[in-house]
Amino acid sequence: GEDVEQSLFLSVREGDSSVINCTYTDSSSTYLYWYKQEPGAGLQLLTYIFSNMDMKQDQRLTVLLNKKDKHLSLRIADTQTGDSAIYFCAESTDTGFQKLVFGTGTRLLVSP
Amino acid sequence: NAGVMQNPRHLVRRRGQEARLRCSPMKGHSHVYWYRQLPEEGLKFMVYLQKENIIDESGMPKERFSAEFPKEGPSILRIQQVVRGDSAAYFCASSPRSDEQFFGPGTRLTVL
């Protein structure tokens, strides 16, 4: 079955890099996503990676995908206090539509 | 172009009452998805609809829950005879095709 796991909590200092990790089980995943959720808000798509890629960089964000180990990571460079939020990893399989399976979320706390 | 709109943002119901949650997709989007987020958990897929059709409802509880997306007007998620376990945040997402999903801010349902 589909299962996506993340560590629950990460604390970093402002200016440091943050690395949030995710593991998934579905080897037929097509896309893998990172979403950000701020308190009381909906989900904001940060970035995504196609399953045949191993890295994607977008400004301060770097996504690494190890398909063999089914491991996905999100690195945030120069983390700011505004990056404090819950980060969700999600995977989808193209079953005619992108049915998202989410992890439980990692709460990132950035201290000054 | 306004984003995905959901209302109400907060809904309080007593056990046994009905809850109606509305979702207005982004302009030009004909695909709607509903997800439920229980406290301290990730989002779980409930149902995927296109105009006037339910495409996949594999995540919907078999009883008391229903969804529709009429030709005109918003998509509605209806929960009959609510119980305390229905307390959650319900998120709607929309897409122009069966790909990238844009999320609304959610409706937080509290059942007393």
pLDDT score for B97: 79
pLDDT score for A103: 93
pLDDT score for A31: 87
pLDDT score for B98: 66
* Contact assignment for A88 to B43 by CB distance below 8 Å: yes
pLDDT score for B45: 94
Q: Rounded to an integer, what is the distance from CA A54 to the centroid of its chain?
A: 14
DSSP character string of B87-98: -EEEEEEEESSS
B66 contacts B78 by C-beta, under 8 angstroms? yes
pLDDT score for A53: 87
Mean pLDDT of the residues in chain B: 93
Residues of B with Cβ-Cβ distance to A99 under 8 angstroms: 45, 48, 56
Q: Is the dihedral of CA B39, B108, A43, A26 positive or negative?
A: positive
Structure confidence by residue, pLDDT tens digits, B9-50: 999 999 999 999 999 999 989 999 999 999 878 899 999 999
How close, in Å, is residue B76 to chain A by CA atoms?
Answer: 18
β-strand A9-13 against A106-111: which pairing, if any?
Answer: parallel
Section B72-80 average pLDDT: 96
Section B87-104 average pLDDT: 89
As given in the structure block, the two tokens for residue B98 are 């069966």
Peptide bond into B39 cis (omega under 30): no
Percent of chain A with pLDDT over 90: 65
Structure confidence by residue, pLDDT tens digits, A6-61: 988 999 999 999 999 999 988 787 889 999 999 878 889 999 998 888 999 999 99
Mean pLDDT of the residues in chain A: 90
Residues of B with Cβ-Cβ distance to A44 under 8 angstroms: 103
**Would an 8 Å CB–CB cutoff place B36 in contact with chain A?**
no
pLDDT score for A82: 94
